Structure 1
């Protein structure tokens, strides 16, 4: 992580909402979602907020580093039909070592649709991959024990 990553940094990202980012597309296999209106899904809004934070972070990370979302606390206050453009504003409000906190706000050109806070944790992908390999190995061992029982 570069020393340029400090509170006060901002980013803005605009995204035109396609039909594929509506509630029924969130989990196509879920009948419950299929019955809901075709409006911008909360899950996709959260992803768009994360994406904006990733764009903010990119120039401030060292090679081999990335970040993982660790907490999200946002409202989704208004529906947005496909075709509108949602603009997300993100501001880095805290840097505590590798733990970062952002204020995020989404607007669809008509009104504010969501707002809150998001936390991310900076990691090296090499270390992250090692941790995932350990977890996968533990799953394989547990499955092997179950098969042998």
Structure 2
């Protein structure tokens, strides 16, 4: 992580909400989700906010071996957004604790503030992370399924 990454970094990102990012599309195999309104799903909204944070810090990471992973999210989803609306995420890096990055996040759909909260990410070394995942996966293969 470059020393130039500092609190105060701001970033905006837009996303045109398609039908494939609505509540019924979140878990197509879940009957309960199929009965829900056709609006931007909270799960996809969270992913969009994470995506904006990833893009904001990407220029400050050292090569392809450094990445960030989400570790905490506390976001209110305050208003529905139908497909066809463009959602704008506005994020600000408000704190850093070592490799932990803390963001204030918001999303607006052009009519309403639809989300507001805090998101934390951690800067990882991808090789070390993948080694840890492989070790965990090996435990799965030793158990009977």
Q: Distance in 2 between matches of 1:98 and 1:142?
A: 34
Q: Map 1:41-120 to 2 at 5 A.
A: 41-63=41-63, 64-120=65-121
Which ranges in structure 2 are unaligned for 5 or more consecutive residues?
A: none
Q: Distance in 2 between matches of 1:139 and 1:14?
A: 39
* Post-superposition offset of 1:111: 1.2
Q: Distance in 2 between matches of 1:39 and 1:2?
A: 39
Matched length: 144
* Post-superposition offset of 1:133: 0.8
Q: Distance in 1 between matches of 2:49 and 2:69?
A: 13
Query: Partner residue of 2:10?
Result: 10
- 1:29 equivalent in alignment to 2:15: no
* Post-superposition offset of 1:38: 0.3
SS at match of 1:138: helix
Q: Distance in 1 between matches of 2:143 and 2:104?
A: 41
SS at match of 1:44: helix
* Post-superposition offset of 1:142: 2.7
* Post-superposition offset of 1:138: 1.5
TM-score normalized by the length of structure 2? 0.97
SS at match of 1:139: helix
SS at match of 2:111: coil
* Post-superposition offset of 1:131: 0.1
SS at match of 1:83: coil
Q: Distance in 1 between matches of 2:95 and 2:3?
A: 13
Could you report, residue by residue, the CA deviation over 1:63-104 in whole angstroms, capped at 9, with x for unpaired residues?
110011000000000000000000000000011111010000
Query: Partner residue of 2:20?
Result: 20
